Structure formats: C-alpha cells, structure tokens
Amino acid sequence: MAILFDQKTQVFTLQTRNSAYQMKVVDHGVLLHLYYGKKIDSCDMSYLIQWTDRGFCSNPYEMQMDRTFSLDHLPQEYPCYGIGDFRADCIKLVNPDGSCVVDYRYRSHRIEKGKYALAGLPALYADEDKAETLIVSMADASSGMELELYYGIIEEADVITRAAKIVNPTSKTVYIKKAMSFCLDFLQGQMDWIHFYGKHTMERQPERARLLHGRQASGSLRGTSSHQQNPFVILCDPESNEDHGDCYGASLVYSGSFLAEVELDQFDQARLVMGISPEEFNWQLGPGESFQTPEAVLIYSGEGFTGLSHRFHQAAQEHVIRGKWKDERRPVLLNNWEATYFDFDGDKLLKIAEGAKELGVEMLVLDDGWFGKRDSDYSGLGDWYVNEEKLGGTLKELVEKINALGLRFGLWVEPEMICEDSDLYRAHPDWALRVPGRPGNIGRSQFVLDYSRPEVVDHIRDMIFKILDEVNVEYVKWDFNRSISNYYSYALPAERQGEIGHRFVLGLYRFLEELHTRYPHILLEGCCGGGGRFDLGMLYYSPQIWCSDDTDAVERLKIQYGTSFGYPISAVGSHVSASPNHQTFRRTPFETRATVAMAGTFGYELDVNCLTKRDQAKVKRQIKEYKNEQDLICKGDYYRLSSPFEGHAAAWSFVSKDKRECLFCAVSTKLQSNPGAVYVKLKGLDPKLCYKMGERVYSGAALMYGGVLLPIPGEEYQSWRYHLKAVGK
Ligand code: GLA
C-alpha cells in the first residue's frame, strides 16, 4: 500500500520506494503538509510544527482564542488567496459578489487503484497494480465551491504526481484567476533552487541560487513552455551535488505559459508552487462546471542530482512516453534543413536520399518548404497542400522513390501557425490570434492560429491528415516558430478572453492525441524553433524533441547537459551538422560532432554528398557504432561526469542496468600549452568488476575512484568515445 491514512491521527502518508510524503487534516478541516523526503514510516510528523503566537499572523475565526494557529506560517497542501496566508498561493477565485476569498477545507477522501488520468490533458500513466491514486475532496463552506486534490503514486518510480480540479456546484458563475497544480511547503527553507533558463539556440542552462527572502520565480508568458525558462525546477540542500544531498525536482506536464514560484518566508520556511501562469489567465466557471489544472511530477532524491535525474528519466521513459516508439529503436535520420533550407526540388532531395542511404541513414526527413507558397519563411504557413511544382511531382511519388531506396520518410509541419501571405489567411483572417483594431505583432512573419477554436484545429487537422492518409509518412516533425502574444479570439466573449492561452494548449493536445491515435506507427518529433517546448506535456505525444536549433557541438554540450537534468537522453533530438557550424561559424572535428550527437536520438543535418570521401566513410562507421550503442544510450543510466561549464573537458557516460557495459564520452573544451593531466572519474560501474577499455583491463574501482586519464588533445575540441565491457563474472 503506497497510500496510508491513519483515522486516529488523520495523517496521510504516501510512500514510494525511497521517499515519503505526509499531510494531515487538523482543526476545522485545514489540510497541512507535514513532510516530503527520505522514506519514513507513518509516524505523525506534525511534532515538527512549532505552534506559537507569531506577530502579524492572523488566525482563522474558528480558532477563537488560539493564536498559535495561523495559515500565515503553517505548511499547507493547497494554500488559498485571501484568508491570511500572504505567501505564494495556489488559488484565487473571484466570487459572484466580487470578493476573492475562498477557504478550502477537507471534506472527504478516496483511495483508488491505478493512476488517475486527466481528460484532455497529458498525465503520467502506469499499470493498475503499479500505482495508486488519492483524491482529497475539499469544500468552501461559505460559497459551496469545491476542490479535488489529486495525488498519483507510482511507488517503484519514486513518483508523486499532483493536480487539482476546481468544481462549481453552485448556481452562480465564478472566475478563476489562478489555479496552480500544487504547493510544496518546507519547514526548513535553507535551500538552493536550480532553474533552467535560456534563449533560442541556447536552451536549458542550469542556474543555481540560494533562496532569498521573498519570491523568486521562473516562468513563461509566451504560450509555450519556452526556450527562456523550463517548467522543471529543483530545490535542494545547499551542499547538494551530483552524488550527495536532498533534492526535490518538480516538472509540469504542460506546454503552455507557466509559473514556478519559490518563496522563502519570514520564518525561513520555503514554498514552491507551480502551474499555469496566472498572468493572462481568467477562467469563467459556470454552474456545474469544473476546471482541471495540468499535472505536475514531484520526485525526491536523497543521493544528489544524478539520482534525481535517473528518476526523472525513468518517469519520462516509462510513464510519459507512449506507444510503439516508447521501446522501439528510433531511426537514424537525415534532415534536409541545414542541407538545403528552402532551396530544393524533388531531384535534389532524391540525390541526398541516395547518398544518405548509401552511408546507412534510415530515414529522410523533408523539412520546411514543401507546401503552399513556401520558398522562404515569409509566406505559406496554413496552406497544407503539396507544392508539386517544386517537388516535380506528387509527394506520394517522391516518397515512393525514397522508400524504394530502402529509406523511410518523415515530414515537417508547423500546424499552429498562419502567414499573412497564405490562402488560409485570405480566407480566414479572423483565425489569427490578433486583437481587432490593433496591428498585432508578427514573429518570423507569421501569426499564431486561434487553436482555442475547435473548428480551426479541425480544419488544419483535416488538411494534414489528408496528406498522412495519402503518403507513407512514418515520422512527423511538429514545429512552432514564434511566441504567442496579442491574445484575442473572435469566438469568445469579452469575459472569456482570459481563457485563450489554456484553451490553445487544450486544442493542441486534442490534435496531437488524434494524430497519435490515428497514426500509431508515426514517430513524432516535437520542435519549437529547437527546444522551445521541451516539456513532459509534449513528451506525452512526441517521444523525442529537437533539442535546439543550435547544432554547434560545443554549444550543444551545454544545452544537452542542462536538458539531461530533467529529461531522458532518448528524448533529445541531436544531429551532426556541417562545419563551420551554421549558427556559430565554429569549426569542430567531424568525430566530435558525432560524439555529441550520439547523446540523443542520432541523425544528420547536412548533405552527405558534399562531404569528403573520408568523412563519408566516417558517417558509415558512426551510424554503425550508434546502432550498436543505441540501447545503451537510450535505455542505460546516464551520468554527467564533468560539466561543460568548468574545467578542460566535458564528459558523460551511459551505463547498462547490469553495469557490464559502459559508453564513456569526453570532449576537450579547452586547449592549453604545457597541459596538466585531465582525469575523469567514471560512475555507476561495479567496483568489483573488471572492464576492458581499449586494449587494457581496469577494475571498476580504479575507473571510478582513480578515474580515466584523458589523452592530450591533438586538436581543438577533440573527443573520445570508449566502450567498456566487463570481463569475467
Ligand atoms: C525551426 C526548426 C528548424 C527548422 C526550421 C524550418 O527553426 O527548429 O529545425 O525546421 O524551423 O523553418
């Protein structure tokens, strides 16, 4: 039993393999949070709370003379706005009388087998015997408004999920101004927080800071989870590192605007709340209606960041990513974007395909420019019909030729966008998100389609499904190339305009779900100008995501390093591209580009016909090697061995579950004259086993505690890949 409820103490204890989470119903139904951390029994942890009268901390009316009970310092599960807790809150409603007070108290609970699902929203899944669900029902006595708090426990995976549902059983309409997915309170708040910031072509850079008194936040107002901040954060002991320390990771299963707020309060307690960004949000909730927040995943690790990442990787791989491609090997693909940009025709593509097939590539992906009037990024989005003139025939014919070579075929789409210069815009100018009477703003010469309107989603879906029905497409790259602004939907009245952002995401999810159901064989790769929508919500539909538009191997070291904290390697779309690199103009060795791209779902982003014979031979070997290592890379345990932000080399490894195989990779990041030795200590090996590495055999203990001595680099950014294999028993 992963969920225990002690009737006498009114304590809930949620247990996973290595962690426990505790809460308690106290006086007048207030639901307090007591504990989250290393596994404990069901011992009532409320002894940790100091009940004392604190200045300027008011008390709920029912407490009368008891001044020690104040929501302003008690740890809570879902703090409400307006009732005397002035910290970051989870919920703010506007009642029919204009007041914003709601006071949710415990009413009942139920425990169910299996993991709950959320209608219309992505959520973790698990076999029925591997998970349990706790639903705590809360109610506001004065208004009659209700709330359900969802807790999903996947014991083996150390996962606790949270979500909330706001229910309006009254006869009046209320407005939801803020509805977060969860709150996590810590009595002892001396902690660091790590968030992942970035920009287009430099996503998910880890930034660590001590919690300061007051609120710190990361989030996105861009309608996507964004390049700029990721909906994954870590709170940890200040001493935590890769191998030691208490760390708490929280990841939203959501792809739209979000807020992650951390607060260190006046009594040095910490609070984390995460959910849909309240900034643009205003949801009308009529009588009988309910509103479901997205889900969040919480994971605790007592063994530092490596343990935390391993658990997040497992959670994503086993409980988020679905369907055929969850376990199946992903094809090594060649994407024509950096090879041709918009400048291609059918013959050129076929030549690339022939060259690629020759070297072992398994799939050709036709990127942007195959549809409508789309010879540049100034026009055509929305016109999802094949430009047969450009291709010199139908897409079906082209794909048949590509298939006849023995290559699979993949196609790029950007279904949520519309260019002003498109037939779609000329027919439906009101389908673009744009405020009437205002010019709006364009990003990459495009507007965003109003996906809050079901008919818009249906129209685009039908156009795209028509192609997928006719042509043998086995992979779709789903792109999104601007941020959303100027929210306004022609289909909604003034008082509902605050719903568009979330309705947009719901429209996107519906489309993706229909695509997943109708074409279960299609591998979807998410993309948003690279990694601008790299989140668990997208991973539920697309098992891999193009990690960044920056294909420079050296910058990718940092991007992939940051990404690895919260997301599995199998999800990271990563390709070898030309040198000098198209984004940074940096020159890097061909093998280094492969070393870095192999830390993900591998492919090429160049015209192999333009390579020298020597490099073509390397491509052949790289693909062979990747395919040999693919299971280890995508299913093994990933270790960050040294940071690309420090020292002289970035290093990482993949270790098989049985610890008998390891792929160790390193890239020299700094040349020095008269260099000192550079050592990398391996991790996750069996100290008692012996491993063959190159021509020599080393003990696991030697490799982990003494380390590997890296060769002196003979050129800038040289890289090394070593496959270690255990010898003997
Ligand atoms: C985005 C993607 C690229 C490519 C282009 C095409 O920037 O991230 O990989 O598909 O769009 O326009």
Distance 671 CA to ligand 1 centre (A): 33
Q: Ligand 1: does its nearest atom lie under 6 Å from the Cβ of 367?
A: yes
Q: Ligand 1: does its nearest atom lie under 6 Å from the Cβ of 412?
A: yes
Find where tokens 């929508």 sit: 533
β partners of residue 679: 709
Distance 478 CA to ligand 1 centre (A): 10
For atom 6 of ligand 1, the residue with the nearest CA is 368
Q: Ligand 1: does its nearest atom lie under 6 Å from the Cβ of 368?
A: yes
pTM for this predicted structure: 0.98
Other C-beta atoms closer than 10 Å to the C-beta of 517 total: 9
Please tell me the predicted confidence (pLDDT) of residue 728.
87
Helix residue spans in 143-233 (DSSP H): none
Please tell me the predicted confidence (pLDDT) of residue 156.
98
Distance 527 CA to ligand 1 centre (A): 8
What separation in angstroms does the CA of 654 have from each of 53, 164, 262, 347, 638?
53, 37, 33, 40, 5
- Please provide the size of the chain in residues: 729
Distance 133 CA to ligand 1 centre (A): 40
For atom 2 of ligand 1, the residue with the nearest CA is 529
In sequence order, which residues have a C-beta less than 8 Å from that of residue 212 and are 6 or more positions away?
264
Distance 412 CA to ligand 1 centre (A): 9
Confidence bin at 234 (pLDDT 50/70/90): very high
pLDDT tens digits, one per residue of 689-716: 999 999 999 999 999 999 999 999 999 9
Distance 47 CA to ligand 1 centre (A): 55
Q: Ligand 1: does its nearest atom lie under 6 Å from the Cβ of 337?
A: yes
Q: Ligand 1: does its nearest atom lie under 6 Å from the Cβ of 547?
A: no
Structure tokens that stand for 367 in this block? 């990127």
Distance 58 CA to ligand 1 centre (A): 54
Sheet with strand 649-655: strands edge to edge: 637-642, 649-655, 661-668, 719-727, 690-693, 696-699
- Backbone phi, then psi, for 197, in 5-degree steps? -105, 175
Confidence bin at 488 (pLDDT 50/70/90): very high
Instruction: Please provide the average confidence, as pLDDT, over all residues in the chain.
Output: 98
Please tell me the predicted confidence (pLDDT) of residue 329.
97
CA 447, chain centre distance (Å):
25
Please tell me the predicted confidence (pLDDT) of residue 66.
94
pLDDT tens digits, one per residue of 347-362: 999 999 999 999 999 9
What separation in angstroms does the CA of 464 have from each of 253, 382, 412?
26, 10, 11
Query: Distance (Å, rounded) from C-alpha 19 to C-alpha 151?
Result: 14
Residue 543: asked if its preceding bond is cis (omega within 30°), the reply is: no
Q: Ligand 1: does its nearest atom lie under 6 Å from the Cβ of 530?
A: yes
Distance 198 CA to ligand 1 centre (A): 18
In sequence order, which residues have a C-beta less than 8 Å from that of residue 482 and are 6 or more positions away?
417, 442, 443, 444, 446, 448, 529
- Backbone phi, then psi, for 22, in 5-degree steps? -135, 145
How many CA atoms, within 13 angstroms, populate the side-chain half-sphere of residue 464?
23
For residue 530, give the ligand 1 atom closest to its CA: 8
Taking alpha carbons only, the member of 475, 470, 478, 476 closest to residue 398 is 470
Q: Ligand 1: does its nearest atom lie under 6 Å from the Cβ of 549?
A: yes
What average pLDDT does range 525-536 have in this prediction? 98
What separation in angstroms does the CA of 87 have from each of 3, 270, 524?
29, 10, 41
Query: Distance (Å, rounded) from C-alpha 346 to C-alpha 349?
Result: 5
What average pLDDT does range 716-721 have in this prediction? 98
Q: Which entry of 383, 450, 549, 615 is annotated as an active-site residue?
A: 549
For atom 12 of ligand 1, the residue with the nearest CA is 368
For residue 367, give the ligand 1 atom closest to its CA: 10
Please tell me the predicted confidence (pLDDT) of residue 270.
98
How many CA atoms, within 13 angstroms, populate the side-chain half-sphere of residue 29?
13
pLDDT tens digits, one per residue of 285-324: 999 999 999 999 999 999 999 999 999 999 999 999 999 9
Structure tokens that stand for 45 in this block? 């942890």
Ligand 1 mutation target, pool 376, 527, 547, most atoms within 8 A of CB: 527
Longest dimension (CA), the chain: 86
Q: Ligand 1: does its nearest atom lie under 6 Å from the Cβ of 525?
A: no
For residue 528, give the ligand 1 atom closest to its CA: 8
Taking alpha carbons only, the member of 331, 242, 126, 156 closest to residue 638 is 242
pLDDT tens digits, one per residue of 361-403: 999 999 999 999 999 999 999 999 999 999 999 999 999 999 9
For atom 7 of ligand 1, the residue with the nearest CA is 529
Q: Ligand 1: does its nearest atom lie under 6 Å from the Cβ of 527?
A: yes
Other C-beta atoms closer than 10 Å to the C-beta of 329 total: 14
For atom 4 of ligand 1, the residue with the nearest CA is 337
Q: Ligand 1: does its nearest atom lie under 6 Å from the Cβ of 481?
A: yes
Distance 34 CA to ligand 1 centre (A): 47
Q: Ligand 1: does its nearest atom lie under 6 Å from the Cβ of 713?
A: no
Tell whether the model's pLDDT for residue 1 goes beyond 90: no
Helix residue spans in 571-648 (DSSP H): 590-597, 613-635
Other C-beta atoms closer than 10 Å to the C-beta of 116 total: 20
Query: Distance (Å, rounded) from C-alpha 410 to C-alpha 5?
Result: 51
Q: Check if the beta carbon of residue 535 is closer than 8 Å to that of residue 252.
A: yes
Confidence bin at 729 (pLDDT 50/70/90): confident
Distance 534 CA to ligand 1 centre (A): 15
Question: What element of type H or E holds 327?
Answer: none
pLDDT tens digits, one per residue of 84-126: 999 999 999 999 999 999 999 999 999 999 999 999 999 999 9
For atom 8 of ligand 1, the residue with the nearest CA is 529
For atom 11 of ligand 1, the residue with the nearest CA is 529
Please tell me the predicted confidence (pLDDT) of residue 641.
98
Catalytic (active site) residue 549: yes
pLDDT tens digits, one per residue of 394-431: 999 999 999 999 999 999 999 999 999 999 999 999 99
Q: What is the DSSP letter of 658?
A: T
Provide the 3-class DSSP secondary structure of residue 31.
strand
In sequence order, which residues have a C-beta less than 8 Å from that of residue 133 and are 6 or more positions away?
111, 112, 113, 114, 115, 116, 150, 151, 152, 153
pLDDT tens digits, one per residue of 129-153: 999 999 999 999 999 999 999 999 9
What separation in angstroms does the CA of 549 have from each of 539, 546, 574, 575, 633?
18, 8, 10, 10, 22
In sequence order, which residues have a C-beta less than 8 Å from that of residue 349 and are 6 or more positions away?
336, 340, 364, 366, 391, 398, 402
Ligand 1 mutation target, pool 375, 377, 412, 528, most atoms within 8 A of CB: 412
Q: Which entry of 140, 185, 265, 479 is annotated as an active-site residue?
A: 479
What separation in angstroms does the CA of 321 have from each of 315, 316, 522, 525, 527?
9, 6, 14, 12, 16
Catalytic (active site) residue 41: no
Other C-beta atoms closer than 10 Å to the C-beta of 57 total: 20
